[in-house]
Structure 1
Amino acid sequence: MTVTTTRVPLIVPRSERRLGLRTKALLITVLPILLLGLLVALTLVAQRRAELNAVSRSLSASVASVLASSLDVTDLTQVNMQLRAAVASPSVAFLDIQPAGDVPRYFISDAPQTDWLLRAQLDAFLNAQPAGSHLALSDTRADAYRAAQATLSAAAPDSVREHLQAAVTTLDATRGQRQTYEVTQLAVYDTQAGRALRLPGQAAPQGTLLFHLTIGVTLGDLNAVLSRQLWLVLLACAVTALTAAGLAYRAVRRLVGVILAITDAAQQASLGQLDGPIQIRSGGRPDELGDLVTAIERLRVSLHLALSRLRPGGRP
């Protein structure tokens, strides 16, 4: 009596898995790199803010020291000359001097034709944040000139209309652009030892207040360098994460393939289908996966021989 076996396709429902082994391996590999990149980015952002504050304070203190030692707020000609020379320096955007008493206020910027607008924006900022040091504005000078055009009467001279229209045409090119100023507020006192400068956070010296000095500086070049540094770090982290993900996928792909093949072979063996060799590609490598495949194949052969002896005739 001959017993024949027929290989029947095995259909075993697989349980639903939320995360497969490949997904877990990729997450374990990539997530630490992404978290490290995020941590480095946050650190660089905080460091950039600290560096900008330090540079702006140092620059403001240097300009203020020069003005505090020689500025006479009662001499209009001298004030205008010194302030124009100061705003001509790199990075100095505006100077606002408010003398004590009834002496007029002095305000000058590197764009004198729109001093009136920047002064109003600075006042609004300091009223809202008396100790504020970071003033970010959108360029609305073109809109301000348009508003001035709208208020002109019909009898306004053509020269005024042409001037306003020329300003609108010129300023439309930068309309809406963001400009950031680092603002430092200082005070100058007249003491027995001479003039003294009070920096932010310092106690007022014993003496008579001469004037308050507000300095706005723009650190666009330094900010651009620090921003490029931040983006380079983020790009390096992204490239590293993608490279690690690719390497992890290649490493896990073979492992998962062997595990799935062994699982299918074990399910076939559980139904007694041991005639054919287990089709598992170990890659021919002398590693743990190759040893596992060899052991599984030996187990199949041993089970096949054992079952064959139990069949009628005692032969495979």
Structure 2
Amino acid sequence: MTPSDASGAATPGPSEDRWSNLERPPLNAAALQRALVTGEGLWSSVEVVTATGSTNTDLAARAGELPEGAVLVAEEQTAGRGRLDRSWVAPARSGLFFSVLLKPGGAVPQERWGWLTLLAGVAVTTGLSRGAGVDTALKWPNDLLVNVGGSERKTGGILAERVADGVVLGIGLNVSLTAEELPVPEAGSLLLAKAAVTDREPLLKAVLRSLEQWYGDWRAAGGDPAASGLQEAYATHCATLGRHVRAELPGGRTLTGTAEAVDTDGRLVVRTAEDAHEAVGAGDVVHLRSVH
């Protein structure tokens, strides 16, 4: 997957020899299944496919027949999607492209399911901190940022889609993309951020285990973001807070001000120049500068 709304990176075709790039070996599906599907935890299955259009689309189509905790991983996505139907494409085996099926059911009121996108962001940042030895941050609501040469770069994103009885969470993370493979200058990867680990298998296990922990705590708290610690953790990892931002809202309206908080509904609270506070629930947010 590529960061932001960019596409156009040259991608090997799905029919290419999977072993043609030995620096990017394929994932071991059997090993992942043994490590993650224990019968006692959240994950019920781990499937790895060589290539697909979109793991979110595929998993959503099967959501009614699969139990909670199904994981679908693609070595290559040819029609990956980000927010606002933006394309997301990357070379085969250069990152982690996967979706998970979650069914909070009656344990969590549906009005709190919107927190799952933010929860996934916290899970990825904490999982990568442990598994990759690299600091990551979140740009509200669902972008994953790393530092590359002193510059803030997007290295991944999260897409949540409602299905009949749950939510499919799609996560894309650039792992080994080189500078020459980046589709736009503002993109990044764990490799370029000098991560201590770029082996995708331990990274995937670290992220999924982190997601399992955060989801379990949130679900046990009835989806309450404060009681589960999720709201505080998101604020801690969110690079948007304290920044001067421009929010491009649905309908063409633009809002500028200081991002001050994330409220209990997961909305970004912006203080305008007129000292009014407005909660942004949807739209693009651009970091303009730090506020001192």
Q: TM-score range by the shorter chain?
A: under 0.3
Q: TM-score, normalised by structure 2?
A: 0.25
* Structure number with bigger Rg: 1
Q: TM-score, normalised by structure 1?
A: 0.23
* Higher RCO, Cα 8 Å, sep 6+: 1
The structure richer in strand per residue is 2
